Amino acid sequence: MNFSRNSPSNIRKEIDFRKSIEYIKAVRQIINQEFNEAKLKLIDDFNSHPVTKEIDGGSGASNISGTLGGKGNLFSFIGFKYGDKPTEVIKEMLERIEITSITTQRDGYAKTHVLYPRADDIFMVTPLPWADGRSWAKGIESGISNFGQYLDLKADASRSGRGLQNEKIETGLTFSTRPYITDLIKDFEKSILSLNRKKLA
């Protein structure tokens, strides 16, 4: 009776293969954990940002972002309509951030591709209500004009129910810019940069 027997070289290959599978699983687990932490941090940083909180507060919010020197709030100054939720489109984009692929290479490193919005992508979907082609989210960083004609008062003619623009009045006030989307995305990019060449110690 003949018996089949694995040669020592075949046994080593099988062991190496099993080690390789376990290694890939371990790397993927680490990558997914670090990615999820980075994504959750980005979403939390956006939700807790003073600009986001102020706009989410609607026409009754106070100017916690400091962009208007404490006069009125961003929701009414920008001219959103009562009941609008301007930040929702950004939140949805951030929620859709995902890993599209993880490729383990022969040198033991793993290359990770992450699909996420650039700052310009967000600027494209956040138009000013009264100026097509301009982004309110970008305006937070670069400036929004006409604050000198802004009156903080309740008015039926106002889109939001509060705040009016009067060209005949010059208050001398200026809009103060704040770091916002660009910095948030840059911080996220830094946190996922290490995922591109991940290797177990």
Q: Is residue 43 part of a domain?
A: yes
1 found inside a domain: no
Structural domain range at position 99: 8-197
Is residue 80 in some structural domain?
A: yes
Give the number of other Cβ atoms within 10 Å of residue 171's Cβ. Answer: 14
Q: Which of 13-22, 59-68, 118-127, 154-163 has the highest mean pLDDT?
A: 118-127
What's the rounded mean pLDDT across residues 144-161? Answer: 51
In a domain, 181, yes or no: yes
Considering the domain boundaries, does residue 2 fall inside one? no
pLDDT at 57 over 80: yes
Domain membership flag for residue 3: no
Domains contained in the chain, number: 1
190 confidence band (pLDDT: 50, 70, 90): very high
The proportion of the chain whose per-residue pLDDT surpasses 90, expressed as a percent, equals 45
